[in-house]
């Protein structure tokens, strides 16, 4: 089942008459399967927020169409009833208190007062924001605003959650809490789509990833696949060699300070190397898997011309 199809979307911005039009998205297509947790990656200006704005109908594409799962509804209002959206760096009505703002958002989502209260009790406690509900939003810190924003995003129990840079501006504890909340929502069966330029966050929580570069799609698929694809699994072995010159035994070897050495061996050669080390009384200090992280892979893609 597909929750969202982003079909051949092109978006060109014409800033003024003199400047050249700027192509923010060029024939981008991807899908978000139902029940998946999809990370949306790309450097600043890659087109992530533009794509999200098109999905949310804030701006219109010059070409292409957006298709939502028919289960969400037939028209925009029905579909948006089942979507939870959190914009990037949200800033709310400063005069309203946290509680008033939550009631405002809840009533727009057709929730009754008891439903809003139940949701507020559940998420307010979880995000440690209940104590501040009577305070005006202008007194909230950046992290608190992000948390109350997330609270209103999930207030109406949406099936499809779209988050634009949800973890930016949060301290490590806040990031962990929000990531845990996103994971638990995903485990409840929600489809989650969130953009970030922080790759480890995506690698940690997402099962799929979409990567944009300069308005073009570079990758759309499983995180596991991109981590495994085309990678020869290597191991890094660090060891001490006293009175022995190990250079003759290993092809890819490097001298570190003291008697410490480092060699990189392919997986298939790992056992042979360890045997050699033990036979020649060389002490093993550490063995590490030399697998590339998602960040390293995307940094490589980004820097490729």
Among the listed residues 29, 63, 107, 252, the single contact to another protein using CB under 8 A = 107
Among the listed residues 16, 110, 188, 242, the single contact to another protein using CB under 8 A = 110
Least distance to another protein, CB of residue 12, Å? 12
Q: Is 113 in the site for another protein (CB under 8 A)?
A: no
Nearest of 221, 201, 194, 199 to residue 210 by alpha carbon: 221
Output 90 or 266, the one with its CB closest to another protein.
90
Least distance to another protein, CB of residue 221, Å? 27
Output 78 or 229, the one with its CB closest to another protein.
78
Q: What part of residues 162-201 is at the interface with another protein (CB under 8 A)? A: none
Q: How far apart are CA 130 and CA 97, in angstroms?
A: 12
Outline where DSSP puts E strands in the chain.
2-13, 22-33, 37-41, 63-68, 83-86, 160-164, 191-196, 208-213, 216-222, 234-240, 253-255, 260-266, 283-289
Interface with another protein: number of residues (CB under 8 A): 34
Output 11 or 208, the one with its CB closest to another protein.
11
Find the distance separating the first CA and the last CA of the chain, reported in whole Å: 35
Least distance to another protein, CB of residue 108, Å? 4
Least distance to another protein, CB of residue 20, Å? 18
Contacts of 61 (CB under 8 A, 6+ apart): 9, 10, 11, 25, 54
Q: Which residue has the tokens 């005006």?
A: 136
Q: Is 133 in the site for another protein (CB under 8 A)?
A: no
Output 89 or 131, the one with its CB closest to another protein.
89
Q: How far apart are CA 9 and CA 103, in angstroms?
A: 36
Q: Is 299 in the site for another protein (CB under 8 A)?
A: no
**Residues 69-98: x where in contact with another protein by CB under 8 A, - otherwise, as a string:** -------xxx-xx-x-x-xxxxxxxxxx--
Q: How far apart are CA 120 and CA 129, in angstroms?
A: 10
Q: How far apart are CA 172 and CA 160, in angstroms?
A: 26
Q: What part of residues 33-62 is at the interface with another protein (CB under 8 A)? A: 53, 56-60
Quick check: 106 and 176 in contact, CB under 8 A?
Answer: no
Output 93 or 278, the one with its CB closest to another protein.
93
Outline where DSSP puts E strands in 69-207.
83-86, 160-164, 191-196
Q: Where on the chain is the footprint of another protein (CB under 8 A)?
A: 53, 56-60, 76-78, 80-81, 83, 85, 87-96, 100, 104-105, 107-110, 136, 149, 152, 156
């Amino acid at each position: 089942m597909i929750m969202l199809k982003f079909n051949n979307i092109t978006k060109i911005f014409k800033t003024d008459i003199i400047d050249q039009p700027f192509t923010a998205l060029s024939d981008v297509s991807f899908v978000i399967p139902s029940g998946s947790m999809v990370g949306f990656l790309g450097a600043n200006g890659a087109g992530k927020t533009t794509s999200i704005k098109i999905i949310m109908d804030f701006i219109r594409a010059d070409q292409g169409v957006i298709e939502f799962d028919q289960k969400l509804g037939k028209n925009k209002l029905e579909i948006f009833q089942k979507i939870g959206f959190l914009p990037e760096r949200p800033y709310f009505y400063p005069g309203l208190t946290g509680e008033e703002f939550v009631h405002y958002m809840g009533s727009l989502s057709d929730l009754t007062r008891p439903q809003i209260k139940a949701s507020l009790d559940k998420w307010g406690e979880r995000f440690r924001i209940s104590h501040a509900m009577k305070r005006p939003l202008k007194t909230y810190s950046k992290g608190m605003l992000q948390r109350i924003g997330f609270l209103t995003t999930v207030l109406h129990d949406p099936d499809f959650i779209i988050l634009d840079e949800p973890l930016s501006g949060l301290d490590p504890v806040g990031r962990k809490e929000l990531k845990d909340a996103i994971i638990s929502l995903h485990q409840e069966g929600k489809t989650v789509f969130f953009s970030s330029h922080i790759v480890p966050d995506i690698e940690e929580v997402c099962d799929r990833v979409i990567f944009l570069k300069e308005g073009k799609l570079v990758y759309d698929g499983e995180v596991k696949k991109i981590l495994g694809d085309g990678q020869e699994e290597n191991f890094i072995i660090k060891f001490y060699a006293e009175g022995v010159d190990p250079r003759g035994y290993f092809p890819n070897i490097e001298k570190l300070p003291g008697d410490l050495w480092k060699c990189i061996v392919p997986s298939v050669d790992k056992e042979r190397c360890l045997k050699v080390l033990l036979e020649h009384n060389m002490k093993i200090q550490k063995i590490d898997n030399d697998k590339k992280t998602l960040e390293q892979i995307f940094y490589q893609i980004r820097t490729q011309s």
